[in-house]
Amino acid sequence: MLGKLIKHEFKASAHSVLNIYLAAAITIVIMLLSYAVKIRWISALSTVALLIISVLAVVITIIAVIAGFYKTLYGSQGYLSFTLPVKSGQLLGAKALVSFIWILLSYIICIGIFVGVYFYVSAKVGENTVENIKMLLQVFGGVSTKAIGQMIIFFVVSIIMQIAVLIAEIYFSITLANTRAFQKIGAVSAIFIFFGVFVLMQIVTAVLTTYVPVTLYYDPLAAGGGLALSFSQSMIQNPTGVNLGLTGLVFEIIAAAALFFTTGWLMKNKINVK
């Protein structure tokens, strides 16, 4: 049943986000054609438009996630959703997974477009892209290939967790706003709850990072010259400048799990279905 829920979520949400990706694809084609026929003003306009569309892709995807979650659970389709022969946890899981995939896709497209535009503009102004890449790699000149690979993995996991936390905060805020205690206030309560949770998490992260400084730092003496774990290392103490905080990442994992669990519990026990 979970598979059917996920399939349905993809179909229901696709029309909300695919149009912006279609617009990006059309803009890319226009930009490439203008580059081929050497029409500068069209090339410049399409480049700017593409950058704007890439940012809008992320924004529109997040808005679609918010609107879809509210509409199908607490809006006009809420009663139908909660009468399905599935557990509230399955409903939440299907929506969270699909939302995660859409937001991750929007991130990838946005980053890809910015990188592509950078190379495109560099070629237009006559910069040597290969030399620019070499200069970038010189920043990691003293760092081993193993450490660079570990850093890439760390950053990928960090982005994944940031998306998961964002979805968890959105779902929790909307769900709590639809309990009896907040329902009288209206939809605006979800906004206040979201920012309240967001600020609280930032404060807790800052405190934990300060007093529980668990980090990964580059240790050339470690096996293969990779990253090593430290419980006291800071950016100032680390001369290589390669210092990745684990405390915040671990807290994000715990916080996301707690928010999803609480949201599931509220859906099961405290929601007033319209």
Q: What is the pLDDT of residues 105-149, one digit of tens each?
A: 999 988 988 888 887 777 766 656 666 666 665 555 566 677 777
Q: What is the mean pLDDT of the chain?
A: 80
Last residue of a domain, one of 118, 138, 158: 138
In the structure, what pLDDT confidence band is assigned to residue 53 with cuts at 50, 70 and 90? confident
| Residue range(s) defining the domain that contains residue 9 | 1-138
267 or 135: which leads in pLDDT: 267
111 or 80: which leads in pLDDT: 111
> For the chain, how many structural domains are there in total?
2
Q: What is the pLDDT of residues 147-194, one digit of tens each?
A: 777 888 888 999 999 999 999 999 999 999 988 878 778 778 999 999
User: HSE on the CB side for 106, CA within 13 Å?
Assistant: 26
Nearest to residue 168, comparing CAs of 65, 83, 80?
Answer: 65
Question: Do 133 and 2 lie in a common domain?
Answer: yes
Residue type, 48: V
Share of the chain above pLDDT 70, in %: 80
Question: Do 134 and 145 lie in a common domain?
Answer: no
Rounded Cα distance between 43 and 54, Å, is 16
Question: Do 166 and 121 lie in a common domain?
Answer: no
| Of 245-249, 250-254, 255-259, the least confident | 245-249
Scan for tokens 């950058």, then name that residue: 51
19 or 266: which leads in pLDDT: 266
Query: From residue 8, how far is each of 3, 54, 90 by CA, in Å?
Result: 9, 26, 13
Last residue of a domain, one of 110, 138, 166: 138
| C-beta pairs of 152-157 under 8 Å, 24+ apart in sequence | 154/216, 154/227, 154/244, 154/249, 157/249
Question: Do 189 and 102 lie in a common domain?
Answer: no
CA angle 150, 153, 158 (to 5 degrees): 125
Q: What is the pLDDT of residue 162?
A: 93
- Cβ-Cβ contacts under 8 Å for 112 (sequence gap 6 or more): none
Q: What is the pLDDT of residue 135?
A: 65
User: Per-residue pLDDT for 74 more than 80?
Assistant: yes
Question: Do 180 and 253 lie in a common domain?
Answer: yes
Question: Do 263 and 188 lie in a common domain?
Answer: yes
User: Per-residue pLDDT for 1 more than 70?
Assistant: no
Angle between helices 247-269 and 88-125 (to 10 degrees): 140
Question: Do 120 and 194 lie in a common domain?
Answer: no
Give me the mean pLDDT over the 207-213 stretch: 84
Query: From residue 135, how far is each of 25, 128, 141 by CA, in Å?
Result: 31, 11, 10
Q: What is the pLDDT of residue 120?
A: 74
Question: Do 95 and 193 lie in a common domain?
Answer: no
| pTM for this model (two decimals) | 0.84
In the structure, what pLDDT confidence band is assigned to residue 224 with cuts at 50, 70 and 90? low
| Of 32-41, 110-119, 129-138, 242-251, the least confident | 129-138
Question: Do 129 and 151 lie in a common domain?
Answer: no
101 touches 135 (CB < 8 A): no
Nearest to residue 56, comparing CAs of 109, 125, 97, 15?
Answer: 109
231 touches 214 (CB < 8 A): yes
Last residue of a domain, one of 113, 138, 163: 138
165 touches 252 (CB < 8 A): yes
User: Per-residue pLDDT for 237 more than 60?
Assistant: no
CA angle 255, 173, 71 (to 5 degrees): 130
Give me the mean pLDDT over the 16-30 stretch: 79
Query: From residue 58, how far is each of 55, 79, 112, 120 by CA, in Å?
Result: 5, 30, 13, 22
Question: Do 187 and 134 lie in a common domain?
Answer: no
Nearest to residue 225, comparing CAs of 240, 209, 236?
Answer: 240
Question: Do 62 and 190 lie in a common domain?
Answer: no
DSSP, residue by residue, 181-230: HHHTT-THHHHHHHHHHHHHHHHHHHHHHHHS--EEEE-TTSGGG-EEEE
Question: Do 195 and 109 lie in a common domain?
Answer: no
Q: What is the pLDDT of residue 139?
A: 58
42 or 255: which leads in pLDDT: 255
Rounded Cα distance between 64 and 41, Å, is 33
